[in-house]
Structure 1
Amino acid sequence: MIVARTRDGTIAPCPDCDTPARRVHSRYRRRLADAALGNRPVVIDLCVRRLFCDSARCARRTFAEQTATHAARASGPSPTTPSAPPGWTPGCPT
């Protein structure tokens, strides 16, 4: 099992207005299954942050940070297991 999360303080842009978001609303876990490596299943336990958009001009109040380099919604297994991109560290705060 691989456990990953973004580093505290990492800035993510709002998907609607592109305003940099720093304030964390909450965190949740996503469990992703990937193609087996040898005879062992690969499971990625991903901690995703929900952030506030602080722009007064944006209708979106909160959003989940995007993890497109690791997982797309309803995606099948990848041909190879990706390495962690910059900004990702092990674990999810409790």
Structure 2
Amino acid sequence: MTALVIRPLIAGEEAAFGDTYTAMAAAGEYRPEWTWVALRDGVVVARAAWWAGPKDDKPLALDSPPRPAARSTPKGRPERPSPRASSAAAARSPAVTAG
């Protein structure tokens, strides 16, 4: 098994987490430097974000950001965005690794 990579989200990666996260980030409630992702083999396996009000200078609560909405496939099964596609940019940045 490869090492787990844990790092903060980089500004511009917010869209990979869906419309709700993007809207809350735009409102200043989630901030990239307070949002963390864990990746294994370039795939997001966990994520967490500290939440705060738009005028707060420190985070107030640990939150689990909402997942992107599922889409319907032609066979009627829900389809989630590919973890590899949504985390491709995430995997290219500096990180903290854990064994």
What interval of TM-score do these two structures reach, taking the shorter chain for normalisation? Answer: 0.3 to 0.5
Higher helix share: 2
Higher strand share: 1
TM-score, reference length from structure 2 = 0.33
